[in-house]
Every structure is written in C-alpha cells, then in structure tokens.
C-alpha cells in the first residue's frame, strides 16, 4: 500500500470518529460510500443527499479492512554542506538533510509555530461556531420554515433531518477543534 493510500485510510478513520449520525444499513451498521475524485474517498460522514450529489456509491456486503504498512528503513543522512538556505548546495532544490537526533528546535521557532497553530485553530473555531449558529437559527428547534417546493411533507422532513445531521457534524467539528486547542501550550 502506498503512502498516500495509507494516509487516505487514516483520514477515513478520522472521519469515522468525527462523524455524526447518518444513514444506517439494514444490519444496523453505518452505510459506507465510495466517492470519486483524484483521491478516492471512503466515508460514512455524508448524508444520502450529499452522497447522491457527489456521485458516491454505497459499498455493500464488503467489510472494510485497514492494513498497516510496515515501517520504512531510515534513509542514510547525507553530509551537511554548511548551507542554511533550503535547497542551496542540494541538486534540484531538494530538501536539506534530516536533523541529527541530538539537534533541537529553537524554542523561539517552536513558540512561533505554536502561536501560528493556535491562531489558525482559533480562526477555524470561530468560523465553525458562526456557521453552527446560522444552522441552528435555520433549524428553528426542529421547525424550519417550509419552502415553496416542499408541498410534500416528506421533502420537508428530509430537509429537517439533513439540517439536524449538519448541526451534529458541526458540533463534533467544534469539539475536535477545542480538543486540539487544549493540546497546545498557552
């Protein structure tokens, strides 16, 4: 299994952890969809309508297996050229050689990385909280306004169910962002 494929499997596992309620198969397990695209995506974190819109197909009767790849052997470390500019002295702008085990990251550089990570996560959290507030306003405690194309009550009920699932997914996203922020140093 190639490295991108193992990352896709890991991403799929993360999606399963963060997924809200969705469609369940007849045996009570979640329906898993295979969505087309440059990276093929296997997920159960989409609603029936989202899966239909994206052109996803349901995977039925086949258990999903996760295969771990063996650890790679470490590459030999090339001798340092003494250059501090990335790519200087390396052919075709290749990345500089790996750091030795006894070298450490400068505390100021790490503090800057942590600050950037905290800022980015805080911005995402704020945007997700705003989107959740909008979704909850539209949901109106389970009684959103009916649209003109919803003369059939089932269409209205389906839209309400999709809205509720969207709210639950957004709440899970917000909880995950808060956990990530809590991991960062103050």
Q: Is residue 72 part of a domain?
A: no
Q: Is residue 93 part of a domain?
A: no
Higher pLDDT, 76 or 138: 138
Give the lowest-confidence range in 14-18, 27-31, 114-118: 14-18
Provide the pLDDT confidence category of residue 179 given band limits of 50, 70 and 90.
very high
- Residue at which a domain ends, from 42, 59, 76: 59
What pairs with residue 128 in β-bridges?
none
Q: Provide the terminal-to-terminal Cα distance of the chain, rounded to the nearest Å.
A: 39
Q: Is residue 78 part of a domain?
A: no
Q: Is residue 156 part of a domain?
A: yes
Report H helices in 78-106.
Answer: none
For 33, the token pair is 């969809």
pLDDT of residue 176: 95
Average pLDDT, the chain: 76
Query: Helix %, strand %, coil % for the chain, to 5?
Result: 50, 5, 45
pLDDT over threshold 50, residue 146:
yes
Domain of 13? 3-59
Q: Is residue 24 part of a domain?
A: yes
Alpha carbon distance 184, 87 (integer Å):
31
Q: Is residue 116 part of a domain?
A: yes
Q: Is residue 147 part of a domain?
A: yes
Mark whether 55 and 113 lie in a shared domain.
Answer: no
Higher pLDDT, 97 or 112: 112
Angstrom CA distances, 92 to 34, 74, 81, 82, 88, stand at: 38, 22, 15, 17, 9
pLDDT over threshold 50, residue 56:
yes
Angstrom CA distances, 139 to 8, 34, 122, 158, stand at: 33, 29, 25, 12
Mark whether 172 and 115 lie in a shared domain.
Answer: yes
pLDDT over threshold 50, residue 22:
no
Higher pLDDT, 143 or 24: 143
pLDDT over threshold 50, residue 2:
yes
The number of folded domains in the chain is: 2
Q: Is residue 95 part of a domain?
A: no
């Amino acid at each position: 299994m190639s490295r991108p494929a193992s990352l896709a499997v890991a991403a799929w596992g993360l999606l399963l952890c963060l997924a809200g309620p969705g469609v369940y198969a007849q045996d009570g397990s979640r329906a898993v969809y295979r969505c087309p695209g440059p990276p093929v995506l296997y997920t159960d974190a989409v609603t029936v309508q989202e899966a239909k819109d994206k052109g996803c197909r349901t995977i039925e009767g086949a258990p999903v297996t996760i295969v771990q790849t063996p650890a790679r052997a470490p590459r030999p470390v090339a001798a340092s050229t003494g250059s501090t500019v990335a790519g200087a002295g390396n052919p075709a702008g290749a990345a500089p050689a790996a750091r030795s085990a006894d070298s450490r990251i400068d505390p100021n550089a790490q503090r800057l990385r942590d600050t950037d990570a905290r800022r980015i996560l805080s911005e995402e959290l704020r945007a997700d909280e705003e989107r959740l507030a909008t979704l909850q306003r539209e949901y109106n405690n389970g009684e959103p306004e009916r649209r003109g194309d919803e003369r059939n009550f089932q269409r209205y009920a389906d839209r309400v169910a999709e809205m509720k699932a969207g709210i639950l997914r957004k709440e899970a996203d917000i909880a995950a962002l808060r956990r990530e922020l809590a991991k960062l140093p103050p």
